[in-house]
Structure 1
Amino acid sequence: MTEPRSEGGLLCYYCTAGKGMEPFLMEEVKRKLAAENVRQIPGKVLFSSPMTIDRVSELKAAERLFLLVKQEPPVRLSAHTNPGATKAASVLQSRLLGDKNQWTRAALTWSRLQGELEQKKNRITSREEEDEQGMETRKRTGEQREEENGNRSLGTRAQTVEKKRKREKEEREVNVYLSDDHCLLGIPLTRLPLANRSYIKTTGLRSTVAWAMASLAQIQVLRHTTAAVFFIYSATCFLGMDIDDGQLQKANDNVEFAELGNRIHLLKASSVVLPLPSGSVDAVVCDLPFGRKFGTKTDMAAKLPAIVNEMERVLSIGGTLVLLLSPQLSYLLKELLAQKHTGPTSNQGTNFQIHYGVQPSYTRETDELCHGPLPPLSSLKHQATLRVSLGAIDGLIHKYVKIVA
């Protein structure tokens, strides 16, 4: 039987995405998967790709991945049809179930993809076992190794057969999405969401949002943020900073868990006194605490001007600043940057004077930065502001590039 493919032999998928993450996901599938027929509906991105399921399942901006069974126009019931009547249920059943052969082909494709994912998982497990037993194995004789390898191969095949039997007995989940504008049916391809990162031990910021911020930064060299979350990217030098010992400990656990201690360095430092030379950093990525998931005693509205100025100071010309802010801090930052053209109003000046009257608990140098005159922010050129969902509240991602003032 043929499999559910679009024109050109491409498999059809769709992914769910958090609010505001759809543009990032659309760009990612085009760039990584050579995707075609890419389209967006609220909370979902549909596409076709020739890539293997191994590649498709590595998407970073997606929440869940589905094999697309069918996409239909929205179900319309006649005005004379009682929604609670048997006829209405029959119309829905007919539209949703459709052709039996279509579902058979979809089930066969799903089973094949599950097998490919299982092979990938087995390869990873085998590599981990080989690494753990490498030293011990090298001490054994060739005959012992052959016997052990044979037993291991038999064990792996037995596990594969057992898992295949379990898959055949399992009831398959089908995702049905109905709205006034769309009708989608799909089968989930992974048990856990793609947003679950196997290389992160302790999560803080939502992984998809963290990835979006990192992708906006383009060159990942410095990460200053709530340290429980971090990005894994190729970089010459990667620094993570936080003033809180607890967050630094979580970040250190993540670094050790990912075995990246030789590439990621953690420092305890205040965001208004970064221990870096001026113009020494290519990118700064920061999510300021909102006081929700990670509490803070610091008045972020009062500190924001000094924090942004310090990040601007360490950035090199052409460097990128990416900030994740609450709606309130986002509005305040826009007001601050607008002052480079109009100058602060008397009311704004009064508000900041009141905020700065609160004594911080850091150092005298920090205190002087908060009370002293703030340099102009004219070297930061705005590139984009994007609203994303953080669960209970929304956050706004700001991107700036440092230019010659």
Structure 2
Amino acid sequence: MLQKGNEEGFIRYFCSAGYGMEQFVVDEVTRKLEAQDVEQLQGKVLFSSSANISQVKQLKSVERLFLLLKRDPPLKMSSHANPARAASALKSTLMADPQLWTSAAMTWKRLQGVHADRKERLVEELMKEEDHESEVQIMKKRRRMAFEDELTASEHGCDETAPQENRDSSVPFSFRISCKCSGALSRCLSAQDVSKVLGASLKQLGWKVDLRYPQMEITVYLNDDHCLLGSPLTRLPLANRSYIQTTGLRSTVAWAMAQLAHIQAGFLVLDPMCGAGTILIEAAQEHKLACFLGFDIDDGQLKKASDNVEFAKLGGRMHVLRASTTAMPLPSASVDAVVCDLPFGRKFGSKSDMAASLPLILAEMERVLRVGGTLVLLLSPQLSCVLKRILTHKEPAQPDQERQHGSHGIMSTPIQGTEPPVGLMCKPYPPLHSLKHETTLRLSLGIIDGLLHKYIKTDS
């Protein structure tokens, strides 16, 4: 249920998201926050909402959440422009309305509840975000921060023991700036130059630079498409989950996979190559009335998954077992949804020849999935080509041809130190007649991209 915030009216936010995740963000803010004026940019989504800030901070599909301070058209600048002239044009754009900055600071304070000492708030955030640490560790951090505060006070001649209301009236609003500058503007102004221009202008308004404990951090995005200024509303990215101890797949991507599966109450959801269990844990956090099962053959990964299940307090709804994806200990048509990030890339290069094993893995996934159930797979572009061949029932090349030429550019030569399953390369693909393609999405996974596929089992 949407809870209205104490703030008057709607507040304008923007958030960053990985490439390909923007539509998931749009859907989530619309559904959960009743967001209005939603605008999608590459890697970012802007929206307005009157929801309580605590609900806004619970978004699962975003990387970082910002209060939108200012949004302007891109600053048109020739690559041969004089730096001084470019700086003057930039200042005119960023500081066109000084009152905007005062209003933004007040809004930011309301959202953060800034009436307590900012160091105390940092300690509280640490305790929330690192609640798996002991109280002794938290107290050590508190003492260290207090010691640093005393040094800061002595350096600036401030009395940190004075009442908060007195300090608020005498100490100027503090800030620091980070800037990401690209495109034509970056050829005449660096990120450091942009920070200097904005910083000098804010100091003229009476604000104070504080690189260690600023009350507000200002992030500037300048490129050929837009000029965005915002202030992050959390110390850590929202993608850093407090309920996951050991990370595996990026949490935002894992959440998106769970959303594609359309999990309902009473579902049994399977990840046959669960790794650290990230996908299932993300799904379990969102769907309290479903059950989750993870398989893996790597004892180290199973240990991480078990620890994560215990840390997230999901022991009653999620279980992980050692089992092979080509011979799962489950009856046919017993699972409502299958979600799986199939290993690929250098990180998994020594495990097996996934291209060779994929036909049998898919056949087993299809077997355990009930009619009407959903299959969601994350694959590399190369494995996606293999998947397409399998589902269009094309015969594979002969082993010698396959190793020499590859399939759609995929080298299927056994990785050094491993061998493909005996005879698998010479057999035709198992028939998969019941998987109907629903959608394919391309997502950024950092240095590489992945393809997210969704299928529905149509018959037995």
TM-score range for the pair, normalised by the shorter chain length: 0.7 to 0.9
Question: Contact (CA 8 Å) 1:322, 1:397: kept in 2 or not?
Answer: yes
| 8 Å contact kept, 1:214–1:285 | yes
* 1:336 to 2:393 alignment: no
Please give the per-residue CA displacement for 1:289-324, whole angstroms capped at 9, x wherever unaligned: 114334542100000000111000000000000111
1:214-229 matched pairs, under 5 angstroms = 214-219=258-263, 221-229=269-277
Q: Which runs of 5+ in 2 are unaligned?
A: 1-7, 136-160, 175-212, 407-411
Question: Judging changes above 3 Å, is the alpha-carbon distance between structure 1 residues 208 and 322 closer, same or farther for their aligned structure 2 residues?
Answer: same
Change (3 A) 1:256 1:370: farther
CA contact (8 A) 1:15 1:44 kept: yes
Q: Which residue of 1 aligns with 2:196?
A: none
Cα distance in structure 2, aligned partners of 1:28 and 1:258: 23
For structure 1, list consecutive stretches of 5 or more residues without a partner in the other structure. Answer: 1-7, 134-157
Per-residue deviation at 1:336?
A: 1.3
Contact 1:281 1:314 in 2 (8 A): yes
Q: Secondary structure at the match of 1:304?
A: helix
Give CA-to-partner distance per residue, 1:10-63, whole Å, 9 cap, x none: 100000001111111111111111011111111100000110110111111100
Q: 2:230 matched to 1:175?
A: no
CA distance in 2, matches of 1:344, 1:368: 15
2:94 equivalent in structure 1: 96
Does the 8 A contact of 2:398 with 2:426 survive in 1?
A: no
Distance in 2 (alpha carbons) for counterparts of 1:329 and 1:183: 38
**Which residue does the alignment assign to 2:243?**
199
Equivalence for 1:184? 228
Q: CA deviation at 1:283?
A: 0.4
Matched, 1:254 2:252: no
Aligned to 2:25: 25
Which among 282, 298, 307 is matched to residue 336 of structure 2? 282
SS state of the match for residue 270, structure 1? coil
Contact kept, 8 Å, 1:289 with 1:296, in 2: the verdict is: no
Cα 1:350–1:402 change in 2 (3 A) is farther
Partner of residue 188, structure 2: none
Aligned-partner SS, 1:250? helix
| CA distance in 2 between partners of 1:57 and 1:191 (Å) | 11
Contact 1:306-1:370 at 8 Å conserved across structures: no
AA of the residue aligned to 1:283: A
Counterpart amino acid of residue 262 in structure 2: Q
TM-score by length of 2: 0.70
Question: Which region of structure 1 is more displaced relative to structure 2, 312-321 or 288-297?
Answer: 288-297
Pair 1:263-2:296 in alignment: no
Q: Is the 8 A contact 2:390 2:429 kept in 1?
A: no
| Residue 454 of structure 2 corresponds to residue 399 of structure 1 | yes
SS of the counterpart of 2:358?
A: helix
Task: Give the letter aligned to residue 108 of structure 1.
Answer: M
Q: Distance in 1 between matches of 2:328 and 2:250?
A: 25
For the 8 Å contact 1:356–1:371, the answer to whether it is kept is no
Residue number in structure 2 paired with 1:312: 366
Matches within 5 A, 1:63-78: 63-77=63-77
3-state secondary structure, aligned to 2:346:
coil
CA–CA distance in structure 2, aligned partners of residues 330 and 124 of structure 1: 41
Change (3 A) 1:181 1:346: closer
Deviation string 1:139-196 (CA, Å, 9 cap, x unpaired) is xxxxxxxxxxxxxxxxxxx9x969x979965432211111112111111111100000
Q: What SS does structure 2 have at the residue aligned with 1:76? A: coil
Alpha carbons of structure 1 residues 313 and 161: separation in structure 2 relative to 1, 3 Å: farther
Q: Which has the higher helix share?
A: 1
User: Counterpart of 1:379?
Assistant: 434
Deviation of 1:114 after TM superposition, in Å, equals 1.1
Contact 1:202 1:229 in 2 (8 A): no
Q: TM-score, normalised by structure 1?
A: 0.79
Residues 89-238 of structure 1 aligned to structure 2 (within 5 Å):
89-115=87-113, 170-171=213-214, 172-219=216-263, 221-230=269-278, 231-232=280-281, 233=284, 234-238=288-292
The CA RMSD measured in Å over matched residues stands at: 3.7
User: Within 1, Cα distance between the matches of 2:413 and 2:432?
Assistant: 19
- SS at structure 2 position matched to 1:221: strand
Percent identical among aligned pairs is 56
Q: Which amino acid aligns with 2:86?
A: A
Q: SS at the partner of 2:28? A: helix
Secondary structure of 1:321 counterpart: strand
Q: Paired residue for 1:51?
A: 51
CA change 1:307–1:105 in 2 (3 A) is same
| Alpha-carbon separation, structure 2, partners of 1:374 and 1:178 | 50
Shift of 1:371: 7.1
- Is the Cα contact below 8 Å between 2:66 and 2:231 reproduced in 1? yes
Say if 2:359 and 2:430, in contact at 8 Å, map to a contact too: no
Matched to 2:374, the amino acid is: T
